[in-house]
Structure 1
């Protein structure tokens, strides 16, 4: 895909329908499970690689370059420690609990076995990746303390860092970078944390990634560098951040 068509698709918004379908599949253990899946679906699409017009959580050759940040408040943002009846919570998987930030129930699950903290779902996503994708910072913090692997990659190389960058969750991004994760990790479509942050117009996240050494020359499969993408989408503040960073790099080189 080239030219104006690529730019138009990069700038396009994607619905969350596929994410809701995925959650319904995981919650089909009964009426309560289905209700919980709907509740989780309301917080946004689950993580993964985006496939335009088919799966909001997939990226294909730059055609749809981000999960659009949900306007729906998460349970923790609403001040809810428990957002569903206990019987319903019992039907949720450890991944759904992580995505919702249901810490007390998550702790109960983790006590059942040490291997659960890095348990993968059918797409290879871990509880940490889910929590990072939904911006559940306290859940991310606790999972890391419990031994969650911040370097884990899902089947299509999705990472906690990439999905946190996609959502613009700068505090989570910084927390993961403190664990020495690969800042330039790419998925099978060439998406990197910086490219996802630029696509989402997440200025603070872009600043944080650049400050920690993110590569400005990496191209998505569409051929866009981070600066190309910022210009194509008209993200002027992000452009300014990148330009300032490049200027600092040149000034540093001149002093060497």
Structure 2
């Protein structure tokens, strides 16, 4: 049954008289008899595009300047062509319909097409005529500057910024909240990005402008592996600790890249640059670190690089209580998982030894004051301290009368003193060996420098003799 049979009236723009009428069963969105079959295209304005306007759009796509000049003519008032015409995609047949947006899809305007395709001569011509609408958007609400930045047309971007036909064009956003600078960083258009960052026609764009998902241009550049764009944005002051809606930061976005080499280069730059250094142990909203993402992606070169930093905390577990090592073992990558486990154990042992060594050194420094304090105490307090195992290195039997009678304590004290003497001797020998190795290395370096100077001198002498001989 047709809509007329059901007693429903068609909208004016869908009645006869246009170039086409939408009667395609594919646009039926509802099986209810109470809703019209054109539901979803109700707000669609289908233009009656003339053949000349279709030819104008085709000429703009093909960069055919002669055809454009012929169609528009010298006097736009007498021309039959609308410079702002919008044609449905699929014209003159059934239009292309978007179920997600519930609307018919349209071609861009001629000026927008020229900016998107990079036809500089036509863009200059339209701007010079000043007879079309420069503030046009496509189906994604991208302006002409958005399209030119995304495609990397530097000269067109420079021309649009110079003419400033649209105010505040640098801060306008598309359907996803992305600025022109965001799209340039996302697509890796380095030259366009340089132009946008240094342009001073009115005001500079917000380098940390966030999209609807809270992503920034720096995060987008990291996520797509554009190293040079990342370097430029960080140099211009982009925030390396900016967070997306789920807490993902630039360092984490760099760790998710499938390309292992690019991922390592990005993380190296973010952690070692002189402008801003990223936080290595930062976590997202699910308590995941960049190291966890590297383990999850099985990026062994990046895992090794991040693990080379002593400040890395490999024991941080995500919201599912998995650490990086457990994530690797869960993916059945035992080789990397066991390597991370062994490295973690080695780090823990080194950290424990370092703490014990520092405590011993601190005890040796405080030996004098503690010793004097215990000598002035009574006999019972000294014995009590000794039995509890505290301050054994500061007791001195020669300064306490009657201490020799307590054989049970004297033997233990002597053994403890002997042990501490051995440890002190081992530490001194270790320091001595380190000093000898350093001295040997310095001597070898001096010999190498001397050898280089000797060879340089011999080379100069040979050149001098050769010149004299000539």
Question: TM tier, shorter chain?
Answer: 0.5 to 0.7
Match status 1:239 vs 2:239 = no
Of 96, 113, 116, the residue aligned with 1:99 is: 116
- Contact map agreement 1:162 1:193 (CA 8 A) in 2: yes
- Residues 114 and 202 of structure 1: is their aligned pair in 2 closer, same or farther, counting only changes over 3 Å? farther
Instruction: Assess if the C-alpha contact under 8 Å between 1:117 and 1:143 holds in 2.
Output: no
Rate the CA distance shift 1:115–1:88 in 2: closer, same or farther, 3 A: closer
From 129, 135, 145, the counterpart of 1:128: 145
Q: Does the C-alpha gap of structure 1 residues 243 and 99 become closer, same or farther in structure 2, counting only changes over 3 Å? A: same
* Aligned position for 1:186: 210
- The alpha carbon displacement at 1:119 in A equals 3.2
Shift of 1:249: 3.8
Residue in structure 1 matching 2:173, options 153, 156, 170: 153
The residue that corresponds to 1:171 in the other structure is 191
**CA RMSD, Structure 1 to Structure 2 (Å):** 3.2
**8 Å contact from structure 1 (residues 158, 187) kept in 2:** yes
Distance 1:163 1:36 in 2: 27
For the residues of structure 1 that align with 2:65 and 2:276, how far apart are their CA atoms?
54
**8 Å CA contact 1:117, 1:146 repeated in 2:** no
The answer to whether the 8 A contact 1:110-1:116 is kept is no
Q: Structure 2 length as normaliser, TM-score? A: 0.34
**TM-score, length of structure 1 as denominator length:** 0.60
Aligned-partner SS, 2:170: coil
CA spacing shift, 1:36–1:232, aligned 2, 3 Å: farther
Instruction: Tell me if the contact between 1:131 and 1:137 (Cα under 8 Å) persists in the aligned partners.
Output: yes
Structure 1 residue 36, shift from structure 2 partner: 7.2
SS in 2 for 1:216: coil
Mapped contact 1:217–1:226 kept (Cα < 8 A): yes
Q: How does 1:207-218 map to 2 (within 5 A)?
A: 207-218=231-242
1:226 pairs with 2:254: no
Q: Distance in 1 between matches of 2:128 and 2:222?
A: 39
Q: Secondary structure at the match of 1:116?
A: coil
Q: Which runs of 5+ in 2 are unaligned?
A: 1-45, 72-84, 86-108, 278-470
Q: Using the alignment, how far apart are the partners of 1:168 and 1:181 within structure 2? A: 17
Structure 1 residue 111 corresponds to structure 2 residue 124? no
Q: Identify the structure with the greater helix proportion.
A: 2
Inter-partner Cα distance in structure 1 for 2:120 and 2:208: 30
RCO higher in structure (CA 8 A, sep ≥6): 1
Q: How far 1:154 moved relative to its partner? A: 2.6
